[in-house]
Structure 1
């Protein structure tokens, strides 16, 4: 059973700090659904952490989001998505293609995100995790931004990963 069963053609935007479980959540879904800024940054620069590749990685992500939404395919955006302009761009893309935009808010406590971050292969500096965690929007804000539905990860039943 999937933690969230989205309507066909949906844009699912994962929103949360590094280490909050976004990629683990995304792994419950078909790999073809997932667009991931870290992956495209690594392909452009040989390093997921190389922030100089973010611009080109974002262009690749946008192209893939448009290609999938145009075809009515479910698209899951796996990146922090904490900046308001980034979320606005995703909601605008969903509207353009007349697809529902869903948000999954990773409202995990900071100490859990930091613990999980330390266990990852690519550890983000703790001060960065803390700063990004402070940018978490409220569900109410996400609704005003145009998301058709907002789900808190703390409310979703997450199956064990096989």
Structure 2
């Protein structure tokens, strides 16, 4: 990430994160992952929604997820093998969703880092509510079912730096929205505990 991009995003990251060949964004729907990913050059960002659109003409088509993941994995492995940085923009809230990314990093000798977005639940829900539902004739829209979002948030809140390192990440930090951009917790163990506001 260039210094200009870092200043524009209000995000200052430790060297272990900036230098990682693979950066995995982790956060619930509406946490701001895609907005934050824009701090990196577009060629480095591998967005699952973008790959869904590539394979199905619809970034919201959940039925295209398997094909989109296969395409994303092919590009990821090719870039890592050529020592090109990759920033993976997807929820990545479960260990299973992260395992294959770490396997690709391990297979190519690439250091992987995790950037956990600690956006408050109320903010995620509010952003999600503003997203459009399905277009006429379509089953899926950008709006995620609330129960899915809450489940994602709970999974993110349970993450710790030690746990992520046990999975295989070389480094992990948490970022929280702040008035000036993002506040980053540099201490990777433990990641700060996110508390859900009362429903």
SS in 1 for 2:155: coil
1:155 Cα offset (Å) = 8.6
Tell me, yes or no, if the aligned pair for 1:105 and 1:139 is still in contact at 8 Å. no
Of 150, 165, 176 in structure 2, the residue corresponding to residue 143 of structure 1 is: 165
SS in 1 for 2:176: helix
Query: Bigger shift: 15-24 or 90-99?
Result: 90-99
Query: Which residue of 2 is the match for residue 117 of structure 1?
Result: 128
How far apart in 2 are the matches of 1:32 and 1:119? 28
* RMSD, matched Cα: 2.0
SS in 2 for 1:77: strand
Of 62, 67, 75 in structure 2, the residue corresponding to residue 64 of structure 1 is: 75
Rg (Cα) greater in structure: 2
Q: How many aligned residue pairs are there?
A: 158
TM-score by length of 2: 0.73
Give CA-to-partner distance per residue, 1:30-53, whole Å, 9 cap, x none. 000000111111222222222110
Q: Which ranges of structure 2 fall in alignment gaps of 5 or more residues?
A: 133-141, 183-199
How far apart in 2 are the matches of 1:23 and 1:43? 17
How far apart in 2 are the matches of 1:158 and 1:94? 29
TM-score by length of 1: 0.88
Give CA-to-partner distance per residue, 1:57-106, whole Å, 9 cap, x none. 00011011111101111100000011212211111111111111000011
Tell me, yes or no, if the aligned pair for 1:103 and 1:151 is still in contact at 8 Å. yes
Q: Which ranges of structure 1 fall in alignment gaps of 5 or more residues?
A: none
